[in-house]
Amino acid sequence: MALLAHPRSLFIDGGWHEVSGSEAVINPADESLLAMAPVGDSAAVEAAIGAARHAFDRGPWPRLPQRERQAYLTRFLDAIDRRKDDIVALIVAEAGATQMLADYLQFGIPMQHARHMVELSSRPAVTPLPVETTPNAQGTITLGAGVMSREPMGVVAAITPYNFPFFLNIGKIIPAMAVGCTVVLKPSPYTPIEALILGEIAEEVGLPNGVLNIVTGDIEAGQLLTTDKRVDLISFTGSDKVGSMIQAQAAPTVKRCLMELGGKSALIVRADADIQQAAMAGLGGFTVHCGQGCALLTRHLVHNSVRAQYVETLKAMLAHVKIGNPADPTVNYGPLIREVARTRTENYVEIARSEGATLVAGGKRPAGLDKGFYYEPTLFDGVSNASRIAQEEVFGPIGAVIGFDDDDEAIDMANDSDFGLSGGIYSANVGLAYEMALRMRTGGVSINGGSGRMSSHAPFGGIKRSGYGREYGEDGLNEFTYIKTVGFHGA
């Protein structure tokens, strides 16, 4: 696996800028040193913002014909595809993703989204408004018309987390650049290499200077991005706590913010559900990527008449989860990202016990894995929807089963949350499930497993403390634009 060609440098203004600071990036599966990555300082962030601002205000990128921007980005994505094997191996080693997850969801799906966004960006930027007639002071009638023009927002600060780094890096920079914005990308300190490798690809394909800049750094570096008046839009994915801080930092300069935050999403299992299928969805709801996913279904609202059957089915499935180093392709459940994440999970296990929940499976570190940040997938039954384990985002492998007696109660409990990102319903009565889905206060709902994959046409995002704005699809593309109207009339 090839890592970085410029291990002490950040990608700024089309070139590599060496910095003095560095930090160890470790493999969460075995705690081995993966690389020493550069750590940006305030001067590097200032330079990156300045380069992006100049590239937008003075450079060719926003003024290129759309087909030329599309050609650049197609070459960019083609170059990524040529390095797929290295990137997938990096996702496994840096983010701790399993082989299947890295290949399909962490690489394949974002690349599918990215190509769709590039294609979608050819939609007309200028559309006509209706022609209108209006009496004027001269006693004649004015023939008026106008257009609506979608313009690029400007400089975008893209701030991404550690759980799906390549996915989210691509998901932010491609639509932003496709509409003519310039970007400063700041990845998580835990997963910087999956971002910096994009600088090598930008250099390879000759992306104009300053269009894509990649910096690393601590909280201070992030705050420079969120407060600088030269930045027009912040696209952030992360916790609701950090999101609220960024929103406050952006307020004095009245920046537009696109926030994709946390979740505590509900899976509703009705009495007529296929329990096997529902339990499979429930299993993924807290075991995919060791529970490190904002849209995972971690609250399982199960009709009391089938709850015992559901719990026993899910418990049996958990016995077949293979925990270990994701470098092994037969492993389907890897580590948490760092010790702090494992400790947080352990604390929530104790919280759940203290709240009276019944431990069904897991609840401890797996035997025989002394290196790496592993924790068994953990299932609780008899959980109260008002409890902390049901209301707070763990971001770890804990599933909570909560009983209900009728559909209205299930909807009320699903909506009784500070979050609203995703959701699911399993039922043989698909029409009723659809009606229930429309009542759920959340950004998306999958019925009986949904469409089978994450559609590139579907906007993604949430409400309440899960954030605002949308990613992907035409709505996601338009988030990086503003609307200008131009009116004119005949003599």
The closest of 446, 439, 444 to 413, measured between CA atoms, is: 439
Nearest 10 degrees: Cα torsion 364, 90, 340, 389: -60
For the beta carbon of residue 31, count every other beta carbon within 10 angstroms.
15
The closest of 256, 106, 313, 253 to 191, measured between CA atoms, is: 106
The closest of 268, 219, 217, 223 to 250, measured between CA atoms, is: 223
Strand partners, 26: 33
The position carrying tokens 């990608």 is: 11
Is residue 376 part of the annotated active site? The answer reads no
Question: Which helix (H) or strand (E) covers residue 276, if one does?
Answer: helix 275-287
Strands 21-26 and 33-39: antiparallel
Separation of alpha carbons 318 and 333, rounded Å = 11
Q: Which of 260, 376, 471, 479 is catalytic?
A: 260
Separation of alpha carbons 128 and 161, rounded Å = 40
Cβ-proximal residues to 484 (8 Å cutoff; 6+ apart), any chain: 148, 149, 150, 151
What DSSP character marks residue 106?
I
The closest of 51, 60, 76, 75 to 155, measured between CA atoms, is: 51
Q: Which two tokens stand for residue 165?
A: 């780094």
Secondary structure E strands in 270-348: 297-303
Cβ-proximal residues to 178 (8 Å cutoff; 6+ apart), any chain: 69, 70, 73, 117, 118, 120, 121, 477
Cβ-proximal residues to 97 (8 Å cutoff; 6+ apart), any chain: 91, 106, 289, 326, 334
Q: Is 431 left (phi over 0), alpha (psi -120 to 50) or beta?
A: alpha
- The answer to whether 299 and 420 have CB atoms below 8 angstroms apart is no
Catalytic residues: 260
